[in-house]
Structure 1
Amino acid sequence: MAGLTARQYDAHYRRLGLTPGVSPVEIDEAATKLKEKLRLERFKSGPLKEIAPIRLAEIEESTVLLIGYWQRYNAAPPSIQNQSRGVALGLSSQSTQTPTAFKEEKTAPILMVEERVRFDDTALSAIESETGVSLVESIGPEQPKLSFTYSLFRAIEGGVSPTADVFRPLSIVGLIALAFVWVATPIILVKILSIICKDYGMDTWLEYFALLAKVIPICFVPPFVIYEYAFFRQLQFPFVGAVRLPVEQAIDSCVQRLTVESIGNSAGWTVESKEMERSAGEVLSGEVVASYTGTNNDKGLPLKIHMRIEKLSQASSFIVYWFELDWNILFKGRAVSRMKSARFEIDRLIKES
């Protein structure tokens, strides 16, 4: 706890959808609301249902660290954002630092939040709803059905990873197995064809096809296999968390990030639907579905992004998004690239909010 920097403390506040420096009471309230949003029964039996416990552990970690700092020093953790605000207002740097009187650690117990190691349906369902927003229909992507590559990586890797771009050591086994299958399949088919057609005078053609069956896999299988794995990681990692924006502003900002061209994002997204739930003139939740209509050379890519945004407080929202694409599409390279650029834009919005 003592080794964290101001930037790291800001990241913990951002994880809870809070502005740095808020009180322990507000920290606890924000954590409770996020836990309510992450109840397992809300999500379909797919990637989101597996990511929820990971997010809950992160929320618990941030709550413990932030409240623990308050109890140790009776002051807010150091913050880059607050220091920048103080400089902008003409305040001295000393006014934004932790008072010297509180730099000595206290010997009394400091943590009032117990860290949970495991989360189960019973513990999660016991959290009472405080937001007034409930979903009748489960949300989230479905796990692909009848897909050999998905089943292969799934069996080898098991649960999801907090980071989609992480390459696990066990993945090498899956990549080798998939490459072997893709290389061996055309060779075996040609052998079967030669046995069937050997009496029809097609020896020359069979030799030609046998050569192609050896050359094509060696040239094209490696990138195909890599993109299959990258696509698996992207599908398996939808995002769920908090953003420090009201619901309506969060929806408009997400749409703008997807549809307006910027550095690292070629745009090409078209909003198919945008629905908002209101009560007493206030937006409580909203859903956005955008399809990738393409720019120049990648039109017609069957890719969609689904976003669900709900109110946490007057200044923050709960956001869930995931991608939809036919797993059986052969050329996945462009899809992976577009998913990464869209994810980068939304993640940048969350960090900058």
Structure 2
Amino acid sequence: MNSGYQLDCVSWEITLKCNLKCIHCEFSAGKPSPDELSTQEAIKLCEDLHRLNCKRVILMGGEPFLRKDWYRLSEKIKDLGMELAFISNGYIIDKNLFNLLQKLEPIYIGVSIDGGRAETHDYIRGVKGSFDRALHFIDRCIELGIQMIVITSVHKLNIKELPNLRDILFDRENIQWKIQITDVEGRFPKKYLISEEEFYWVGEFIASTQKQHPRGEKFVTGAHDMGYHSSVLPNLLGFEWNGCPAGLSLLAIRSNGDISGCASLGPRFNEGNIRDRSVIDIWNDPDAFAYNRKFKMEDLKGYCKRCRYAKSCKGGCTETSYMATGHIHCDPYCFHRIEQQRKT
């Protein structure tokens, strides 16, 4: 049975092995998981994704370049005609790695920069020198003609440094800056989560930066959690928000083969494991991803229940909603909601 849903993008955590110790890591990465997929299982998974007509695969970790067969998997993805991208911490500075990346021609590489000062980034990332190495990695990839995305996860420890980081990135070519809020999965302390008013300020900062930079939203955008439906701010996402796409056009795969609708979603949202059922069976299961595929207006909670944008928005980002409230379909990090609350 075909699900009727087009699988556009897969985020695949190919290993939990990591060379940094980020305080906000939602996967609590470090050592590789003892039950990570074998090369044979991973190759078979690539083939199954191709059978699902998957358009794009993003390899991530942990740190994806620490998995021994990362290049073999990357080649397989490309050979099958799927787009290839990576998300890395940019810590590995190695001539051979850059040669391999140039050969692969990924559509982009995302690298995290989480501070406007080396001291802040290094503290958050848990390793001294990681800020300078990440910038070196970015600049080298730009020299090779690779499109780079800088990913910044905002929380109370770094929110005030966004202007500094803007100055660092502003004149770099072939770069896009994507700003998101940090969630509290994994080992991130909830006390560092930004408030709704701080969230709105981040939105204002992105809008202001888009006006200042000659490339506008091609330079900086908000991630999927930076919305929605503001009557004051422009659309910061770079696309029209029509509700959480997890399980509708997006899929996430853990290093052990667990499947969920989005890389940000925790274990509660697992739909199965490819060792028990193929990813094809899971994607085409009529009962899978029910929180989105079987969404009903009655599922909305809190303010979202009476919002005029409820039908299209569906309560915002599933992960942010669950993280902040313990429920889904009621995301409090919403520009429209904050603006309405300011009026009362």
Normalised-by-shorter TM-score class:
under 0.3
Higher helix share goes to which structure? 1
Normalized against structure 2, the TM-score is what? 0.28
TM-score (norm 1): 0.27
